[in-house]
Structure 1
Amino acid sequence: MKHFFLATLFLAMTSLVFAQEKPRKSPHVTAEANGIKVVYGQPSKNGRVIFGTLEPFGKVWRTGADEATEITFSKDVVFGGKPVKAGTYTLFSIPDPKTWTVILNGKLGQWGAYDYDKNKGEDVVQVKVPRQKLSTPAEKLTFTLPANAVVFEWDDTKVSVPVK
């Protein structure tokens, strides 16, 4: 009986050690305001050239790190001029030197953009918005939610999508 107890205790302790999550390189953060919530992995620049190099122009990006970024609207909105029902969506983008495509996709729980396929019919909307060049680079990807917009900044880029 004593050996059974010790074996059970050993298994329980081992399970606790292995069950702990590894620390992430990019913290997961939430931006929330005006009935909009964005949950994303927040990567850092770390001296790298981000857009056009680390994140190639013309290729779908998860708009964050790790799991694909998710955005929730508490009520129906007009996102970049297009109607969107209240709910949660995966947010992707396609970087470009001048005009970015921002995508709301209906498939949740995606890791990165590896499963993204524009031909699956899961996109809810795609909007094109101008890229704004920042005079001072942003070290960390940061979403802000001022009245009437979803804004994200990283490296030398700022993207703003109007929301009504």
Structure 2
Amino acid sequence: MKKLIIGGFSAICLIFANPINAQEDGKVNYSKAELNFSKLDSSPMDLALYRDKDEAPVARVIYSRPQKREREVFGKLVPYGEVWRTGANESTELTLYRDMKVADEVVAAGNYTIYTIPNEKEWTIILNKSNNTWGAYEYTDEQDLVRINVPVRKAPNTIEALSMAFEDSGNGADLLIGWDNSYVKVPFKNAK
């Protein structure tokens, strides 16, 4: 019995003598006594959520927020006339919790990817059936569900980080997408 108690005590001492440490690369290091988590992503992930008057979720967008950092955004960093992931890192994800109407198309509840083709005076907004994609590298128009052109609007102030928000429109919501000195409105209307 003495050996069992001493052996158990020794094992407990060994466990507490080796504190755990999470390093920047996400691996565990058993030799340090403090935690070091990874640094904040330079284009952090964010989400915009639209709820109806009863607080039920209607639509959600998950996207990464690149920063302007004194760069010329549209026409340079984001080229005109090319398909863009509408953010950074993973492609921008749209979840519709109920059927919605975009342009004259009814889009069924489900998960989609939002791509855009920015131009100086208007953007083409693309709802695509692909999911879990990185950037626009895997984009194919064969998976397009809806395309709609929306006018570019002048922002009242500079928008440092790509930003998205829903604005109630009375019969649904407009998704506002803004960065640098411009923004667009994408109308989502109730299907019923």
TM-score range, shorter chain: 0.7 to 0.9
Residue 69 (1) aligns with residue 92 (2): yes
Residue pair 1:80, 1:161 contacting (<8 A) in 2 also: no
**Structure 1 moving runs of 4+ over 2 Å:** 16-23
Cα drift, residue 23 of structure 1: 3.8
Partner of 1:33: 50
Equivalent AA in structure 2 for residue 64 of structure 1? G
Residue 116 (1) aligns with residue 116 (2): no
2:26 to 6, 19, 27: 19
Could you say what secondary structure the match of 1:66 adopts?
coil
Structure 2 gaps of 5+ residues are: 1-13, 28-37, 52-57
Residue 132 (1) aligns with residue 157 (2): no
Partner of 2:30: none
* Percent of aligned pairs sharing the same letter: 38
Distance between the aligned counterparts of 2:39 and 2:161, measured in 1?
21
| TM-score in terms of structure 2 length | 0.73
Partner of 1:157: 182
Distance between the aligned counterparts of 2:40 and 2:165, measured in 1?
25
Query: Greater relative contact order (Cα 8 A, min sep 6): structure 1 or 2?
Result: 1
Question: Alpha-carbon deviations, 1:122-142, whole Å to 9, x = none?
Answer: 111111111112232211111
Equivalent AA in structure 2 for residue 128 of structure 1? N
Distance between the aligned counterparts of 2:26 and 2:69, measured in 1?
30
Equivalent AA in structure 1 for residue 146 of structure 2? V
State the number of aligned residues.
154
1:90 to 113, 120, 128: 113
Distance between the aligned counterparts of 1:82 and 1:44, measured in 2?
33
Distance between the aligned counterparts of 2:145 and 2:90, measured in 1?
19
Equivalent AA in structure 1 for residue 49 of structure 2? E
Equivalent AA in structure 1 for residue 174 of structure 2? A
Distance between the aligned counterparts of 1:73 and 1:42, measured in 2?
21
Equivalent AA in structure 2 for residue 138 of structure 1? I
Cα drift, residue 58 of structure 1: 0.2
| TM-score in terms of structure 1 length | 0.85
Distance between the aligned counterparts of 2:165 and 2:40, measured in 1?
25
Higher alpha-carbon Rg: 2
Equivalent AA in structure 2 for residue 159 of structure 1? V
Residue pair 1:139, 1:155 contacting (<8 A) in 2 also: yes
1:47 to 67, 70, 91: 70
Distance between the aligned counterparts of 1:115 and 1:141, measured in 2?
22
Distance between the aligned counterparts of 2:104 and 2:177, measured in 1?
18
